[in-house]
Structure 1
Amino acid sequence: MQFNIGALCAATLLVLVSPAHAADSVAYKDPETGFTFAQFNAQYVIGKYITYRIATPSNVAQGTPYDAVVQVAAPVDVGWTGLAWGGYMTYSPLTVAWQNGNSATVSSRYATAHQAPSLYTGATYTLLKKGTHVNSTYWQYTAKCTGCTSFTGQGNRNVTLNPTGENRVAFAYSRTKPSNPSSSGSAIQVHDVTASWTVDFGSASNANFAELVQRNA
């Protein structure tokens, strides 16, 4: 995701896998929500991880926009997390989120340059009550996204993520919490670490996707 503005070298913390390799994600069946996710644990400092999970509906035709569910579990020392659906910071829907008391705030962002991303109306989120919670060590959110898997990329190119195969995504992390955690428009500080990985959307398929969204709402 090249949320790359600082001089911190993420390569000392993370091993980036070439797109030529097999998917880095693994299938995970969440006992709480019932979704089957493609999961990846992103190391943001040595020995500490943010878990990213993506779930998709089954029987999606290639090139057709579709909803997805994103679930992120982060230690409480994480100020904010970002997920770039296109694999880079720019020209890609950005799911930016942070702890907000006993819940989480999810903010839809988009950037066309390596600067603070703007609010983005092309992707909308529905926070799911089940799967969103906070304890003394971790905070987690689960949200349905409409507009994350299909978007306008660089050069006005229409991009739709492969619903049954591999897609490159990326993350960013900052230790600094937003100044106004209850507002999705709150200013965020520059990230401290970034990295990308390959996620297998085929392993994230859910035949009862719509039913699960409704059940967890």
Structure 2
Amino acid sequence: MYFNLGAACTATLLAIVSPVHAADSVAYKDPETGFTFAQFNAQYVIGKYITYRIATPSNVAAGTPYDAVVQVAAPVDVGWTGLAWGGYMTYNPLTVAWQNGNSATVSSRYATAHQAPSIYNGASYTLLKKGTHVNSTYWQYTAKCTGCTAFTGSGNRNVTLNPTGENRVAFAYSRSKPSNPSSSGSAISVHDVTASWTVDFGSAANANFAELVQKNA
């Protein structure tokens, strides 16, 4: 998987990436899981979107690592989708996921160069049963991540995402499905589209975060 742009998709990106960079997240209360998320609809082809949602606990002290819940809803023609927590391909946790039958597989990855990222043990995921499902048009997963909001960035910098303010994140999409959908270590193809946006973690705070995680497990 490569988050850098290849020549084959440059023309497509020129048409759709610019408005993505100018957009911001909005608050969304999910009636199914009860989480309040910061939501963004990322356009991956003209007129089609992948929805990214992030929920956080409230009352997190600045500079303190904290768990987050990520929810992604993607049309069934999406082969795999990735979320870069630091806003770039390299030196930040990458949440890569794809449809796996009636569920989804979530894979933890990390890259130090513009090449296929490696499995990353610094972040772990708990797939939540409620909020993870597939139908004839969409697949969706909801997962708690431990290790996504604090990580070692470039130059060995310690990075902690602002729990009450804005953070830059990015997404990647490929139309090609992984070679082994049931394995979190499956090989995946080069992405077709990537872009970034600013997400307001302040609008994603949940006072009952731990309770909701347990309720939806």
TM-score (norm 2): 0.94
Structure 1 unmatched ranges of 5 or more: none
Per-residue deviation, 1:8: 3.9
State how far apart, in whole Å, the 2-side matches of 1:10 and 1:214 are: 43
Per-residue deviation, 1:7: 1.3
Contact persistence 1:5–1:114 (CA under 8 A): no
Aligned pairs, number: 217
- Secondary structure at 1:179 match in 2: coil
CA distance 1:23–1:50, change in 2 (3 Å):
closer
Deviation per CA, 1:34-55: give whole Å up to 9, x if none: 0000000000000000000000
State how far apart, in whole Å, the 1-side matches of 2:21 and 2:192 are: 26
State how far apart, in whole Å, the 2-side matches of 1:112 and 1:106 are: 20
CA distance 1:99–1:28, change in 2 (3 Å):
same
Deviation per CA, 1:140-188: give whole Å up to 9, x if none: 0000000000000001000000000000000000000001000000000
Per-residue deviation, 1:121: 0.2
Per-residue deviation, 1:90: 0.2
Structure 2 unmatched ranges of 5 or more: none
Deviation per CA, 1:103-152: give whole Å up to 9, x if none: 00000000000000000000000000000000000000000000000000
Contact persistence 1:19–1:198 (CA under 8 A): no
Q: Could you say which structure has the higher helix fraction? A: 2
Per-residue deviation, 1:85: 0.1
State how far apart, in whole Å, the 2-side matches of 1:19 and 1:99 are: 27
After superposition, the CA RMSD in angstroms is: 2.3
Per-residue deviation, 1:22: 8.3
Task: Indicate the residue corresponding to 2:98 in structure 1.
Answer: 98
Task: Indicate the residue corresponding to 1:120 in structure 2.
Answer: 120
State how far apart, in whole Å, the 2-side matches of 1:39 and 1:15 are: 22
TM-score (norm 1): 0.94
State how far apart, in whole Å, the 1-side matches of 2:209 and 2:105 are: 23
State how far apart, in whole Å, the 2-side matches of 1:204 and 1:76 are: 26
- Secondary structure at 1:189 match in 2: coil
State how far apart, in whole Å, the 2-side matches of 1:105 and 1:81 are: 11
